[in-house]
Structure 1
Amino acid sequence: MPGKDSVLGDFYYREAKRQGYRSRSALKLLEICHKFRVMKRGDIVLDLGAAPGGWLQVASHLVGEEGLVIGVDLSEIEPLPYKNTVLLRGDARSLDLQESLRSISGGMVDVITSDMAPKFTGIHDVDHGRQIVLAAVALELADKLLRPGGKMVIKVLMGSDFEPFRKEVKSRFSGVKIFKPSASRDSSSEVYLVCHGFRGSIQ
């Protein structure tokens, strides 16, 4: 008999496909945005770890024609039929890619989302450590590209380095919430930090 995680996973996978999304994780961002009002029409959004494009679909709809969504991933992303979406393939740590982001966005963005994940080994401490490194990359980009008052959503795995990282995030934002979407598996240590009111890095 399939476990609860398997049944729920199948349900959210089917529901995402029914709604036309490329990935089950699109439902996670949709829930986050509805609950915390992360995006609005006209926003410029940077989506890190954007493949296969589910989060891009959600963001593109929420920001509308007046907005812009920039997706970045090491893997190629299949083009989307939206005029307000730009896709970039590359490493977010690359200075050349960061310069491209500045050029496309006009200098700064309103929202950064990161669903970046490492290649999982199944060893929690290893996976957690690698996930924190990617989350730190996203936070570093916020220091460079997120406008004052901006918002951010970062995926993190719970573990020994979670609390120190959360403190780093809290030092930059006026509000930080920990949230686990309904579409996340119960057995997963995955949570999202939902951040409002960016005030920059405190040196």
Structure 2
Amino acid sequence: MANNKALGTGGRKSDRDLKIRVKTAKGRKVASTKWLERQLNDPYVARARAEGYRSRAAFKIKEIDEKHKLFRKGMRVVDLGAAPGGWSQVAAKAVGSTVDHPLIVGIDYLEMDPIPGVILLRKDFTDDDAPAALVEAMGGHKADVVMSDMAWPTTGHRATDHLRIVHLIEIAADFAIEVLKPGGSFVAKVFQGGTEHELLHMLKRHFNTTFHAKPPSSRSDSAEAYLIAKGFKGSRPAEGEITPEA
């Protein structure tokens, strides 16, 4: 008979004992091994598989929506940096997008398998003609939500990585201001270092509320958070028009 004391929990192994451990294979870096081990032990990865989502990231936008009420039936949504498609999947279900009446447009330079109810563009959003391609795909309609999970590959240099992600947020926000309906929302991934004051100031001029959030599915050891701007005040003023400061 096994000694219960040896097991430490009255015959049941501890959570630590139940974790999957991955041995370092020849040619695999230690960092890659740790990433694989973390993936295999991540409950959100298992949930994503079980619920048919393409990535654990789907739960981030799902949790943001549950708390901050981004989506409603019939809304039109633009997904910037859509691959592998988890955010578009969540949005399509939430707004009732269908193959016959698609309400979601996603864009990414990576190839993606089709998603029912989603128009997917394989294109880099930073290309000069990308905004026009998205507007065309929306059929001339304004968007209710623009969401961005875009991120550059990290360089390891914090200042450089911060500037690169801020640049992505800036062009995503600029696009959102051009295509959103009054009352619309903008959501974008940011990293530690926060959001530049000028960008926040600009968003506050165009949205009623602006704040940061970190959903439960965002790993605690990750530097990522999400910038949320709600209540778009309306189209960008014409050149030379003076607007009051918020």
The answer to which structure, 1 or 2, has the higher relative contact order (CA under 8 A, 6+ apart) is 1
Percentage of matched positions with identical amino acids: 38
Structure 1 residue 51: Cα displacement: 0.2
Structure 1 residue 94: Cα displacement: 3.6
Mapped to 2, the partners of 1:139 and 1:160 lie a distance apart of 15
Structure 1 residue 13: Cα displacement: 1.3
Name the amino acid aligned to 1:136.
E
Which is strand-richer, 1 or 2? 1
Is 2:195 aligned against 1:170?
no
Question: Which deviations, in whole Å up to 9, do the C-alpha atoms of 1:13-32 show, x marking residues without a partner?
Answer: 11211111101110000000
Q: Is the 8 A contact 2:77 2:91 kept in 1?
A: yes
Q: Is the 8 A contact 2:102 2:119 kept in 1?
A: no
Look up the SS of the partner of 1:175 in the other structure: strand
Structure 1 residue corresponding to 2:96, chosen from 48, 60, 64: 64
Map of 1:99-114 to 2, 5 A cutoff?
A: 99-105=132-138, 106-114=140-148
Cross-structure match for 2:74: 42
Q: Is the 8 A contact 2:178 2:236 kept in 1?
A: no
* Superposition RMSD in Å: 2.4
What are structure 2's unaligned runs of at least 5 residues? 1-15, 20-33
What are structure 1's unaligned runs of at least 5 residues? none
Mapped to 1, the partners of 2:209 and 2:41 lie a distance apart of 30
Cross-structure match for 1:120: 154
Question: Which deviations, in whole Å up to 9, do the C-alpha atoms of 1:96-152 show, x marking residues without a partner?
Answer: 332232223223111100000101123322222211111111101012111121111
Name the amino acid aligned to 1:168.
M
Cross-structure match for 1:143: 177
Look up the SS of the partner of 1:171 in the other structure: helix
Cross-structure match for 1:87: 120
Structure 2 residue corresponding to 1:153, chosen from 158, 164, 187: 187
Cα distance change of structure 1 residues 9 and 38 upon mapping to structure 2, 3 Å threshold: farther
Name the amino acid aligned to 2:105.
I
Structure 1 residue 67: Cα displacement: 5.7
Cα distance change of structure 1 residues 146 and 122 upon mapping to structure 2, 3 Å threshold: same
Look up the SS of the partner of 1:14 in the other structure: helix
Structure 1 residue 162: Cα displacement: 3.8
What is the number of equivalent residue pairs in this alignment?
Answer: 200
Cross-structure match for 1:31: 63
Q: Is the 8 A contact 2:39 2:45 kept in 1?
A: no
* Stretch moving more, 123-132 or 28-37: 123-132
Structure 2 residue corresponding to 1:76, chosen from 73, 97, 111: 111
Question: Which deviations, in whole Å up to 9, do the C-alpha atoms of 1:67-108 show, x marking residues without a partner?
Answer: 60000111112212x1x2100111224453322322232231
> TM-score, normalised to structure 1's length?
0.88
Cross-structure match for 1:51: 83
Mapped to 1, the partners of 2:229 and 2:130 lie a distance apart of 24
Please tell me whether Structure 1 or Structure 2 has the larger radius of gyration of its CA atoms. Answer: 2
Structure 1 segments of 4+ aligned residues over 4 angstroms from their partners: 200-203
> TM-score, normalised to structure 2's length?
0.74
